[in-house]
A = this chain, B = another copy of it.
Amino acid sequence: MEARRDVFQAIADPTRRAIIGMIAEQPVNVNTIAEQFDVSRQAISLHLKILAECGLVEFRQTGRERLCEAKLDKLEEVHAWVQHYHQLWTSRFNSLKSFLEQEELESKTTGTPAKQPSRQISKRKK
Interface contact A14-B4, CB-CB below 8 Å:
yes
Most buried by B among A8, A13, A116, A126: A8
Total residues of chain A contacting the partner, CB 8 A: 50
A residues apposed to B, CB below 8 Å: 4, 6, 8-9, 11-14, 17, 20, 24, 26-29, 32, 35, 58-60, 62, 65, 67, 69, 72-73, 75-76, 78-79, 81-83, 85-86, 88-89, 92-93, 116-126
Choose from B60, B93, B119 the contact partner of A120 (Cβ within 8 Å). B60
Q: Which residues of B contact A11 (CB under 8 A)?
A: 8, 12, 81
A25 CB to nearest B CB, Å: 8
